Amino acid sequence: MSMAQDADVEITDARPRKKIRSSTQRKRATSPIHHPRAPQLFAPFRALGLITNHIPFYLQTRSYKDATDGPRIHILTCLGRSWALWEGGKMGLLFVGPEVPDPISCLVMDGDAVWAASGIHVIKYLRGKEVSRISNPLRTPLAFVVLFGAQLLALTEDGGRMLIWAISTNEPALSANLQFDIGFTATSILHPATYLNKVLVASNEGDMQLWNIRTQTCIHKFSHSQLCTLPSQPNMSTSPSSITALTQSPAIDVVGVGFLSGEISIYDVRADERLMRMYMDNGAIKALSFRSDGHPILASASSSGHIALWDLNSGGRLLHLIRGAHDGAVSALEWVPGQPVLISSGEDNSVKQWLYESPTAVPRLLKFRSGHHAPPHLIRFYGEDGKQLLSASADRTLRCISVVRDSRSYEMSQGSLARKATTLSKSLASLKFPPITSMSSSSTRSKDWDDVLTAHADEMCVRSWTVLNKRLGKHTFSSAESSKRKAPSGVVKCVCVTACGNFGLAGSSAGEIHMWNLQSGLKRKSFKVGPCPRAVIDRLESSSMAKPKASERAITGLASDALNRVVIASTSDGAVNFFNFHTCTLDQTMVLPASAISMILQQDSGLLAAVCDDMIIRIIDIETHRVVRELSCGVRGRILDVAFSSDSRWIVATSLDSVIRTFDIPTGQLINAFRTPSVATSIAFSPANDFLATAHVDSVGIFLWANRSQYSEVAFHVISEDDIAEVALPLMQGSEEDEALEALESLGVEDTPTDVFSTPSQLDGDLVTLTLLPRARWQTLLNLEVIQHRNKPKEPPKKPEHAPFFLPTLPGVEHRFAIEEKKQEKQDKETRRLDKNAAKSPSILHKLLAELEKNGGSGDVLFDYIKSLSPAAIDVELRSLVSLDGLLQFLRAIKRRLQSHLDFEAVQTLQNVVLRMHADMIIENEELRAELEELLNVQKKEGGRVLDLLASSLGTLGFVRDTR
């Protein structure tokens, strides 16, 4: 086979397309107004990967009697508009609070109660449920809260007032409203140990004040010049430095104060003097904490993510400095009381526990829970069970996220970067790989070798990963090694792992495609797209664009079929190239009307979705090489990502207009669409068809949407752009089983669809309708006597004899037992009283016949009962018709049913069986004989009509067959 020629190029511009309705004003004038409705297909389920944000966590320890494993640790973190409670032993999730309208600004705990400041309210929760709420009468947001015995103290966001509520009663009441002087902007509150009714208030100007909350007076003021000696900025020597951290030390009257300039002061409040001074470079002090197990050590954290340990016995000497403890500013630090364990949280969406085995040893990371600290931009499901997600983010990490349980999520290791960062004195983030731009995986050979390929921004190499070992793989494939020296080497744009898991492919911006063996790492084949097709040149010339060179035909999408027969590559000029997998030759090229941005293949069905820059998704059949569907995603935003459902029934697309659309591929119609608060940059459909995963531009989490069609009946309608409703993102849910079940309860559709088609009992009165029961049912009833005679046993079954406890033996050489023959017990004679009672009680069939004779009608209830019986039961009921009234009623019921054209084959069978059973009685009785003659006339009329219809249909069928 030769390379692609102009004759092999298939142009899809000329294919007939359905006209798009351009004018809808006439229909809008006559049709009723449809309000936007909630999406029926997807329901918000839960969010993954959310641990904490910039709000400091709250640490609570509980000691129990006879406990051998130490106190129980609870960590309360903020998730933006909700909160999460974690168990410190295994870092397991305990509770998740409900979402509030305003972001949470502060969190505290009091026993089992959680207090959260949100907007103008302070809300109290018990076991995740809201029990009470306190509102600021000034209607200004609250920024900081602290519990002080039976009182709740809060600072307003502007820092001008401190509000005090008495919370000892069921209805909290505002007891004090303190206003600070002008020039004092309060930021935090601290209660000094052993100080009765007194609190320290830190300010944004670097000053502190000691207040008595009972008398509502300011006792003492600590000036900025006494607390700090360094300015906040080097070029501004007179500007004060704000207080950013304030904590109590184990020593009475001594507190630790951290400033924006990086200075730390150990201050004696009673003596009003500074005892010690330390300084941290590279940022402001974000948190301070004193060790409480007997070692005088102070831990401090900076806004650059470093944690420092200071020896207070040596005048504040630096013991250890953990560089890059967090990939961002550290929000809080807390020592576990009585333990050498330090807990830290940062703006990188992580909570970490550090163990200090000795004052001289370097602290080590004990346990942690973390997630992405930058919004993920690429997510894909891994495996066929839909329980794991691979997510890539701008934080230069690749994470494997468990859909079932958050504790099973982890970051894929990139090697010993911490050791390299220490050796080279560089930050850990600078040594990570560039952000991932393309990703592909196959779990077929995951137990044998690497199973994930990734392409990175502005790199000419492809990296392999192993999910089984949770780390970087053995091979790094370079596309520049195999190219010629003078030929330009482009960066890798897309990757693909074959369905068998043996090969990996990569396409570059220079138009080259290379294939490697994932087991050995050796290069196997190369594919070249060649020069630009003539159809593309004509299209570009018509649009006044320059002709692209062969080296400028960047590969934008790459895929291979399930049987390794075809390699499909899309280029930036709008061409879709089909290569032979084994010979590497270009078989055919399709030219699309617009440039192809990306491409995805559903391997089971052979459908290829090409996303074009004219905001249209074109579905291509890779067997026939033709465009079978064109799906328009509006005109407002570029398409960012698409995903197929596992059954190839739907395709889901996300675009820059924040709308997630679902198209029905067989009909090509838009059946579901909803708008999210932020743009979804990437989507993935579960292989199990139960969840849709989305990643958004302003969130570090991954959000799951449950497929309602898996749990209830959903009636799909063709919707328009006016029917799109905005839906809030899913919330963080707990791992408890009852919470998961409660989440599933909301998956059912509330409103029952009114236009669901149901088959009527009879399409038309002139048509003959059958019972829709199996044919064998009525054949068995006709031949029931023959079947019973054939299945009759030759002799009645004998009951096995019971062996005696002692078995007597007979004399002789052989061992034989003496078994006495038992006399047959005489059967008890049946009493005649039972026979008389049984004969007097009418059966259900008799009752239904009498009711039909009295009320009239078509006999639907009677025949529904007959159709529910087995052939043997119908035979017994018909044999019970021994009275003249019963036979007369039954013949009339058959005649009425025959005239209604319903249950035609059932009527014929019942008529045959009854006449065979009770022929003698019917012939002897004149009244029954007269009714039988009427039934015969109706039977001849209906039978002749049916035969005429059959003859006409057979004649028409024969004529059609002969004309062919």
pLDDT one-digit tens code per residue, 825-837? 444 445 555 455 5
The band of 732, judged by pLDDT with boundaries at 50, 70 and 90, is: confident
Quote the strand ranges of 57-171, DSSP E: 58-62, 72-78, 83-87, 92-96, 104-110, 113-118, 121-126, 129-135, 142-148, 151-156, 161-166
The band of 738, judged by pLDDT with boundaries at 50, 70 and 90, is: very low
CA Rg, the chain, in Å?
41
Q: Give the least confident one: 164-173, 421-430, 717-726.
A: 421-430
The answer on pLDDT for 664 being more than 50 is yes
In the predicted model, what is the mean pLDDT of residues 835-844?
A: 62
**pLDDT over 90 for what percent of the chain?**
46
Q: How high is the pLDDT of residue 245?
A: 94
pLDDT one-digit tens code per residue, 90-111? 888 888 888 899 999 999 999 8
pLDDT one-digit tens code per residue, 257-287? 999 999 999 999 999 999 999 999 888 999 9
First-last CA distance in the chain: 40
pLDDT one-digit tens code per residue, 665-683? 998 999 999 999 999 999 9
The band of 558, judged by pLDDT with boundaries at 50, 70 and 90, is: very high
8 A C-beta contact, residue 39 and residue 673? yes
8 A C-beta contact, residue 819 and residue 832? no
The answer on pLDDT for 408 being more than 50 is yes
In the predicted model, what is the mean pLDDT of residues 415-426?
A: 78
Long-range interactions of 748-753: CB distance < 8 A, separation 24+: 748/708, 748/711, 748/712, 749/40, 749/708, 749/712, 749/713, 749/714, 749/715, 753/713, 753/715
Q: How high is the pLDDT of residue 228?
A: 81
The band of 535, judged by pLDDT with boundaries at 50, 70 and 90, is: confident
Q: In the numeric block, which tokens belong to residue 522?
A: 């050796």
The residues with which 163 forms a beta bridge, in sequence order, are: 154, 177
Look over the chain and give the mean of its residue pLDDT values, rounded to a whole number. 83
Q: How high is the pLDDT of residue 500?
A: 92
DSSP state of 7: G
pLDDT one-digit tens code per residue, 327-370? 889 999 999 998 899 999 999 999 999 998 887 788 899 999 99
Answer with the residue of higher pLDDT: 588 or 534: 588
Would you say how long the chain is, in residues?
964
pTM for this structure?
0.73
**pLDDT over 70 for what percent of the chain?**
85
Q: How high is the pLDDT of residue 826?
A: 45
Q: How high is the pLDDT of residue 948?
A: 85
8 A C-beta contact, residue 462 and residue 473? no
Phi, psi at 287, each rounded to 5°: -160, 150
The answer on pLDDT for 236 being more than 60 is no
The band of 51, judged by pLDDT with boundaries at 50, 70 and 90, is: very high
Q: How high is the pLDDT of residue 933?
A: 87
Q: How high is the pLDDT of residue 547?
A: 56
Q: How far apart are alpha carbons 577 and 625 in whole angstroms?
A: 10
In the predicted model, what is the mean pLDDT of residues 651-670?
A: 92
Choose among 681, 677, 690: nearest CA to 638.
681
pLDDT one-digit tens code per residue, 754-808? 444 556 677 677 778 888 888 888 888 888 888 888 887 777 777 776 666 666 7
Q: In the numeric block, which tokens belong to residue 69?
A: 């494993």
The answer on pLDDT for 57 being more than 90 is yes
The band of 161, judged by pLDDT with boundaries at 50, 70 and 90, is: very high
8 A C-beta contact, residue 595 and residue 585? no
The answer for residues whose C-beta is within 8 angstroms of residue 548's C-beta and 6 or more apart is 532, 536, 540, 572, 573
Quote the strand ranges of 518-615, DSSP E: 523-528, 555-560, 566-571, 575-580, 586-591, 596-602, 607-612
The answer for residues whose C-beta is within 8 angstroms of residue 448's C-beta and 6 or more apart is 501, 519
8 A C-beta contact, residue 104 and residue 78? yes
Give the CA count within 13 Å in the CB-facing half-sphere of 162. Answer: 30
